[in-house]
């Protein structure tokens, strides 16, 4: 090997950062053989230098300020695994680009909010930003879109991209536990972010979807246009009734370009129980990519964790070590189009759950509201009476969400509703 070592400055020594350290230390010879040069860590940064960590850091220079780390002369690649879309992570990434460093990031929030500006700065400076670890952990979905499917017109990107939400929903399914019971268990096990709403509110997964949509459709990242709905309103009744109809409930991200504009949704959906998405269990992630030439491909694997995320970080580092250079979002940032958000979503069937008062003509009144809104009924089931209440499940033919909402806005005036109705989209997979 005649090439000089590639020198890493590592900002963040949490679980992912320590995972990166271990890969560099444990697989040094393997990495050198695969890239033709050594890859070494020269300096690190974290908030607390005194904290005990499961790795030997004694051979590395230490910077308390990640900006200072990004500017060091003995750093070629700035690896940012701190997290947060403002503050030190943003300042240090900007400093690294200004100092002529390449950047590898696991920070989905930073790129979802500031990806366009950072990409323009990096490409103007002749630098690259790689972020495989920011989306779906160990699943190489960025590489699949930018390289393996580069000759395809992408039709749709879809997937389960938050393992914590999938864990909660599958435990509700398998163990018959309520949402709150599983939420509390997940929090006790450390499966949720310090702010749990980042997970269960769909924000974390929405960041990932926005990044994939930018690559897939050649548009500027537009996280603010992602329709977000978390899983907090999903009840054990919804889980059981969906199963009775042959479906599973997933927090599903869908991005597709339509004649109405770019759709980006991260919302609970019903998917067929026998589909790959329907069979997905626990904390595993799955991303489905649809191209005009390749058809549909399914990528499945661990979406988080020390090893999988560090593996994705190092895949980007090794590409840089080999000399691979690519625009941040698969094409020059200056050529990315301004996204036009779809004003309405693609029509779909909907699951409607409602509890009616046991009155003559109650169902007929609900059916009339749906019909007047242009929504037709495909299936309807009425379950056993609960005193004076009658649980009812309706599956509609394809309709827009606006028509569904219009129909439900008229339900209260019927005088037969005992509780607010629930509407969940049924996604074709």
pLDDT in tens, 338-361: 999 987 788 999 999 999 998 888
Q: Is the dihedral of CA 310, 316, 319, 320 positive or negative?
A: negative
Beta bridge partners of 11: 45, 80
Question: Residue 52's pLDDT is what?
Answer: 85
- The predicted-structure confidence for 169-186, as pLDDT tens digits, reads as follows 999 999 999 999 999 998
What percent of the chain lies above the pLDDT cut of 70?
99
Is residue 341 within 8 Å of residue 262, measured between CB atoms? yes
Q: In what order do the strands lie in the sheet with 61-62?
A: 61-62, 39-45, 6-11, 77-80, 102-105, 129-130
Q: DSSP of 344-361, one letter per residue?
A: SPPPBEEEEEEEEES-TT
Burial of 200 (C-beta count, 10 Å sphere; 0-12/13-18/19+) = buried
Burial of 380 (C-beta count, 10 Å sphere; 0-12/13-18/19+) = middle
Beta strand 389-396 pairing with 349-357: antiparallel
Under the banding of pLDDT at 50, 70 and 90, the label for residue 372 is very high
Residue 90, pLDDT above cutoff 60: yes
Question: Residue 1's pLDDT is what?
Answer: 53
Task: Say which residues have a Cβ less than 8 Å from residue 53's Cβ, sequence separation at least 6.
Answer: 13, 18
Question: Residue 283's pLDDT is what?
Answer: 86
Is residue 92 within 8 Å of residue 66, measured between CB atoms? yes
Phi then psi for 425, rounded to 5 degrees?
A: -65, 145
Is 401 strand, coil or helix? helix
Is residue 337 within 8 Å of residue 219, measured between CB atoms? yes
Cα distance between residue 389 and residue 362, in whole Å: 11
Question: Residue 2's pLDDT is what?
Answer: 55
Cα distance between residue 327 and residue 341, in whole Å: 24
Is 173 strand, coil or helix? helix
Is 120 strand, coil or helix? helix
Cα distance between residue 369 and residue 394, in whole Å: 13
Cα distance between residue 147 and residue 330, in whole Å: 8
- The predicted-structure confidence for 373-423, as pLDDT tens digits, reads as follows 999 999 998 887 777 888 899 999 999 999 999 999 999 999 999 999 999
Question: Residue 429's pLDDT is what?
Answer: 87
CA 381 to the chain's CA centroid: 34
- The predicted-structure confidence for 110-149, as pLDDT tens digits, reads as follows 999 999 999 999 999 999 999 999 998 899 999 999 999 9
Q: DSSP of 88-113, one letter per residue?
A: HHHHHHHHHHHTT-EEEE--HHHHHH
- 40 token code pair: 């070494």
Q: Which residues are catalytic?
A: 208
- The predicted-structure confidence for 299-319, as pLDDT tens digits, reads as follows 999 888 889 999 999 999 999
Report which secondary-structure segment, H or E, holds 208. Answer: helix 203-217
Residue 327, pLDDT above cutoff 80: yes
């Amino acid at each position: 090997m005649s090439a000089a070592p590639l020198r890493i400055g590592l900002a963040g020594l949490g679980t992912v950062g320590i995972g990166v350290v271990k890969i560099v230390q444990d697989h040094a010879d393997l990495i050198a053989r695969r890239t033709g040069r050594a890859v070494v860590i020269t300096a690190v940064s974290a908030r607390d230098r005194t904290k005990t960590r499961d790795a030997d850091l004694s051979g590395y220079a230490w910077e308390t300020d990640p900006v200072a780390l990004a500017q060091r002369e003995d750093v070629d690649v700035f690896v940012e695994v701190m997290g947060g879309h403002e503050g030190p992570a943003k300042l240090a990434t900007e400093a690294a680009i200004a100092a002529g460093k390449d950047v590898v990031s696991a920070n989905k929030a930073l790129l979802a909010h500031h990806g366009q500006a950072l990409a323009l700065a990096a490409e103007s400076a002749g630098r690259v930003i790689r972020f495989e670890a920011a989306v779906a952990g160990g699943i190489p979905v960025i590489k699949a879109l930018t390289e393996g499917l580069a000759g395809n017109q992408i039709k749709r990107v879809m997937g389960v991209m938050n393992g914590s939400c999938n864990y909660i929903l599958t435990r509700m399914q398998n163990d018959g536990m309520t949402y709150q019971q599983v939420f509390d268990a997940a929090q006790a096990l450390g499966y949720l972010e310090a702010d749990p709403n980042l997970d269960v509110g769909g924000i974390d997964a929405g960041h990932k979807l926005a990044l994939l949509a930018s690559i897939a459709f050649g548009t500027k990242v537009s996280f603010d246009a992602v329709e977000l709905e978390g899983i907090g309103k999903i009840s054990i009744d919804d889980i059981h009734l969906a199963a009775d109809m042959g479906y599973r409930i997933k927090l599903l991200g869908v991005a597709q370009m339509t004649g109405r504009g770019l759709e980006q949704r991260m919302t609970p959906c019903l998917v067929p129980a026998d589909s790959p998405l329907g069979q997905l269990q626990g904390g595993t992630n799955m991303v489905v990519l649809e191209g005009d030439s390749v058809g549909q491909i399914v990528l499945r694997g661990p979406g988080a964790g020390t090893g999988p995320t560090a593996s994705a970080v190092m895949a980007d580092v090794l590409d840089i070590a080999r000399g691979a250079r690519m625009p941040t979002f698969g094409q020059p940032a200056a050529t990315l189009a301004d996204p036009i958000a779809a004003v309405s979503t693609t029509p779909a069937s909907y699951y409607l759950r409602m509890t009616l008062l046991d009155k003559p003509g109650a169902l007929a009144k609900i059916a009339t509201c749906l019909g007047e809104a242009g929504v037709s009924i495909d299936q309807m089931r009425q379950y056993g009476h609960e005193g004076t209440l009658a649980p009812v499940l309706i599956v509609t033919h394809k309709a827009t969400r606006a028509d569904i909402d219009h129909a439900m806005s008229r339900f209260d005036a019927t005088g037969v509703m005992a509780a607010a109705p629930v509407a969940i989209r049924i996604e074709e997979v």
